[in-house]
Amino acid sequence: MNKVKTSSEKSVSTSSRTMSLLSQLEKINVDSVLGEADNARYVTSKILHLVQSQEKTRKEMTAKGSTGIEVILSTLENTKDHQTILNILNILIEVVSVGGGRRASVLVTKGGTQILLQLLLTASKDSPPNEELMVLLHTLLAKIGPKDKKIGMKARINGALNISLNLVKQNLQNHRLILPCLQVLRVYSTNSVNAVSLGKNGVVELMFKIIGPFSKKNTSLMKVALDTLAALLKSKTNARRAVDRGYVEVLLTIYIDWHRHDSRHRYMLIRKGVLQCIKSVTTIKLGRKAFIDANGMKILYNTSQECLAVRTLDPLVNTSSLIMRKCFPKNRLPLPTIKSAFHFQLPVIPASGPVAQLYNLPPDVDDVVDESDDNDDAETESEIEIENDDDKDQIFKNDDIETDINKLKPRQELGRSIEDLKMYEHFFPELSENFQECDLVSKEPKPFVPDANLGGPIVVPTAGEEHSAEVNQSTKGVILKESNPLLTEEYNRRPAFLELPKKDSIKDSSSSHQQNDQRNLLPSCQCLSQEIVEGLDKITLQNSAKNDPYCDTGCVIKKESKTSLTTLACNKPCEHVSPCGNSLFEGSSVQLGKLCCTGVDSEEEDSKSSSSGEQIVLEVSDVSPVHDCDLYIEMVKTTKSIPEYSEVAYPDYFGHIPPPYKEPILERPYGVQRTKIAQDIERLIHQSDIIDRVVYDLDNLSCSVSEEADVLKFNSKFESGNLRKVIQIRKNEYDLILNSDINSNHYHQWFYFEVSGMKTGIGYRFNIINCEKSNSQFNYGMQPLMYSVQEALNSRPCWTRVGTDICYYKNHFSRSSIAAGGQKGKSYYTITFTVTFQHKDDVCYFAYHYPYTYSTLKMHLQKLESMHNPQQIYFRQDILCETLAGNSCPLVTITAMPESSYYEHICQFRNRPYIFLSARVHPGETNASWVMKGTLEYLMSNNPSAQCLRESYIFKIIPMLNPDGVINGNHRCSLSGEDLNRQWQNPNPDLHPTIYHAKGLLQYLAAIKRLPLVYCDYHGHSRKKNVFMYGCSIKETMWHTNVNAVSSDLMEDPGYRALPKILSQTAPAFCMGSCSFVVEKSKESTARVVVWREIGVQRSYTMESTLCGCDQGKYKGLQIGTRELEEMGAKFCVGLLRLKRMASPLEFSLPSNLLDIENELIESSCKVTSPTTYVLDEDEPRFLEEVDYSAESNDDQDIELADNAGDYEVPNQEDGLSDSDSTRVLLS
């Protein structure tokens, strides 16, 4: 206790002593008595002693409410005594040296900067100036300067700007004095006006007198001089001056010298300082040219490669990489035009907008490149300084949020007359149907009778075979015959939520199967499931009696009991591949691509010397009851494409089964991005190593490549395909260029193409070089998809995530201002990935996401219609309208048949509330179609809860709003060249027929007072993880603006949150924390906002599904697949059933057994976190994941984004992705 007391007494004593001294000093200031100078000198020396010896005193002086700093500054301002001034400066230096920037900020707020600058001006008038005073003044200014945003302007107004510069000029050998002077000049130079002014007075030339070759002497001075020079050279005027005097080459020489001599890497900061100067000077075009002329690319490339072995030198490698990328000469895309390779003449040309500009371009304009890069040297620096006092302290504000309360209030506006809307009456026969002629007695499902027209033999071109007198003898083919599945008990087991009526085609002869007949005849699911996949794994290669893989002229498939198998006949091994596009069958214009049938595995290649008259057995599973190879071909025949495709991609023909294994989000290897960038830079340095051979070109169909073993073959001439041009860069590296959306000159992101002619054991690098989005989930673990035909023939027909060394970064191909919407100096981005193929001479397909074609949709709808029980399910398929290309847009109606034709049952049927769903307005968002597939199959299933759902609602579904875009491989637009999800406010019936009539259906329902309970538009999201929703709320929108007072008085039904909350509890992939209910100005013409605002549907949503994977819940750390997407579609339906129960608990009661089924579906839940996230352009919320700076951009404005991002929490799962902590920023 005594020790504590003693300590306490000492503390009080010290505190009271400090306060006493400050009081004395304050009294001296007030009295201003002659002869008090000695007292002031004495008091300040005592305070200095306390400050130097005790941290408590330093804290006390800057504590809140303390007047210590004011007293000290007042004394400094008034005293003329030299020693007192020195004491006070030392006191202030001690105070701000410890404790971070807060104490320096206190000094600034008390007016310290102005007093110090005035003192500097006064002291400079002495001849010669007092060295000690100048050292202390500059030391203090250098410490507080970074905390005073206006110090540059204050110094210029006070006339203090050139004092420090002159001191340096006059005392070049006095390192003690010029070191703090240089630090102050560095602070001044952050102001561009000051930098220009100092440059005119010779500061750039002065810096080059101080910096020099390697020396162990004065390294601190060298470092500060380099930092000052780097700040000065950010001014374009100073950078131009440095270039004119040949300083770029000098900097490179200095860098090489330090690099060679600093073998122990003790002076990395100096080496980095030189690089920062080079980075600043290469901001201007003249600087970049001087850098290239001085062989800078090769110098930095070689030095950075030598630094790779030492991890601590990463900052040098990363800065070198930034400089080289910036200086890499901008290339034009090797295209004749950035407009699509396909042309479609619009029936009506819009009066304004991008499409109108496209049509009005003169024919001889080069739209691929312009001279935008030449404009960056224009002198734009103004002598008028704009002061932004609190910009960096302000919380990020989204100007896109709608703030006009009148615009936010929903106002039901039909926009069309009742008479006009009557044209939609025939799409709602359920509102007038009396069912008098329908047999509604039995609700048992009818046995499904297979369509006799389905399942016939087709011919797939492969090796040579004479198979028909009608077919040309040169036609080669494989015969496929479909058989019915033999359903075992294992095959019958299905998840409850995915049950569909099954074909009644069980033919069992054994007693064991007869015992299971009763179970097999029960309705069960034929959707994709784990059991099918497990069954497929048991399918093996079957040889003929001769036990030789090449027997006679054909392949015969043996039937196994697990799944339906297909017979493939081929007459030869695949050395002689038939050309792409042989006739599929007699009189048909539909063709399949080449099929390499060399055997299902490499072991088979050893048998090629055997007799050509032997057999090989291959097996292809019937992947799904809603996938029918023959029916798909029939659907393709009626699909109209602009290029008039005649080929069918094998993945679309064979179908897809989700792989039986999990596909984790890929962990990004350290340094992968800079390695790829270095390889790109090698193209410039070692140009002789570049092959630069065009191997595929839609613009030059006569482009042919000799049959060389070392060249891959490409194709994209099939439905939904997108690949415009391929250039072989190195032996195993290819640059790929995507096609623009038709009637557009951008939107490059979706890709789907075929590759063949590969070898095994070789890593092939693919670079897609004309992507446009500034970032991608490819930087955060997403992989592209690949489909192997060889694997499909080996009974594994599935899309799988593949690729290593994946990254997405800005490249050196420039976008013209025409392509960038008027913005100049924009670049394209590269997706790069490396693939090693498993099979030689395979045929593989690559895609951005799981393809889902228009023909696939038609096939699925037809299969669902043929398989449903019409006594139980009301299913109707209409054609809403025709698209611009003449394709039909399907409209599906699903509900339950009435219990009987009695009046009460018919009334209940007609009065069911509507649910309106749509999907695939953006063609590249194929995941939306897979979610829709899950919804449709659930609604058509025999699941008891699905039946309750059908009895509760009438579903109106438009599963594909943009068929033309999907068919022709567009990423975002329709044939009109416009984003259809920005046309809902005022759709044109000629240019946007699907939107015009979809809105018309909703307007009709509003007119007859039958507003849908829910509207949901299914989308995909390229830059976020999980599945989430966007909704509409006036109050939540107001919360994010400055009109909080208004929002507090608003009354709003919170029911719009119910469905997302339900989904967060029932759907594993759904995340409530990513949902947003904010209405933005840029989204006022989207389906979600228009249906909410004009039609009056409160629960109007966009449901976004990730293209990548999940970072929460059951699927955390996994990439998303079709199984999870289809499950999401089914869980959406379950959510609607829950919504019904919440909305009317008395009217709707569920049997206890159904409750059990529903409870089983609640497998995981998400924590509800922040209610909203900001939503910016392209339906994408603010992207907060951490990005390696070199992945993003070299533009200065991108660096500034970091200042505004500090208020956001960075997701933890992305922490390890950056190549270097020293080069991280947040992408806003």
Residues with catalytic roles? 1104
DSSP 952: H
| DSSP-assigned letters across all residues of 46-72 | HHHHHHHH-HHHHHHHHSTT--HHHHH
Helix (H) or strand (E) run with residue 35 in it: none
Measured CA to CA, the distance from residue 858 to residue 637 in angstroms comes to: 11
Q: Are 629 and 592 in contact (CB under 8 A)?
A: no
Are 81 and 37 in contact by the 8 Å Cβ rule? The answer is yes
Q: Of the candidates 295, 362, 340, 435, which has an alpha carbon nearest to the alpha carbon of residue 750?
A: 340
Q: 3-state SS of the chain: helix, strand, coil percent to 5?
A: 45, 15, 45
Chain-centroid distance of CA 228 in Å reads: 38
The dihedral through the CA atoms of 313, 315, 316, 320 has a sign that is positive
**Of 1066, 1064, 1060, 1068, which is closest to residue 1158 (Cα–Cα)?**
1066
* Strands of 591-592's sheet in order across: 582-583, 591-592, 647-648
First to last CA, the chain: 57
- Structure token digits, residue 1176: 């910016």
Show the 3-state SS of 633-663.
HHHHHCCCCCCCCCEECHHHHHCCCCCCCCC
Residue 482 DSSP symbol = B
Amino acid at the residue 70: E
Those residues whose C-beta lies under 8 Å from the C-beta of residue 637, and which sit 6 or more positions away, are 588, 589, 590
What is the rounded CA–CA span in Å between residue 186 and residue 230?
9
Bridge-based pairing of strands 1099-1106 and 1014-1021 is parallel
Q: Tokens 């149907």 — which residue?
A: 433
H-helix segments, 213-369 = 219-232, 236-244, 247-261, 268-281, 285-293, 296-307, 314-327, 354-360
List CB contacts of 491: < 8 A, sequence separation 6 or more.
485, 531, 532, 535, 562, 563
What are the counts of helices (DSSP H) followed by strands (DSSP E) for the chain?
Answer: 45, 29
Report the amino acid identity of residue 647. E
E-strand ranges in 974-1045 read 1014-1021, 1027-1030
Contact 420, 989 (CB under 8 A): no
The DSSP 8-state label assigned to residue 1176 in this structure reads E
* Residue 1087 host element (H or E): helix 1087-1090
Distance CA 447, CA 1194 (A): 65
Report the candidate in 1025, 1030, 1020, 1021 with the shortest Cα–Cα distance to residue 1185. 1025
Q: Give how far Cα 152 sits from Cα of 142, 194, 1028, Å.
A: 12, 7, 48
Query: Do residues 1080 and 974 lie in contact, with contact meaning Cβ atoms separated by under 8 Å?
Result: no
Whether the ω angle into residue 354 lies within 30 degrees of 0, i.e. cis, is: no
Task: Select from 860, 956, 977 the least CA-distant residue to 431.
Answer: 956
What is the spatial distance between Cα 745 and Cα 741, in angstroms, rounded to a whole number? 7
Partners of residue 728 on adjacent β-strands? 693, 734
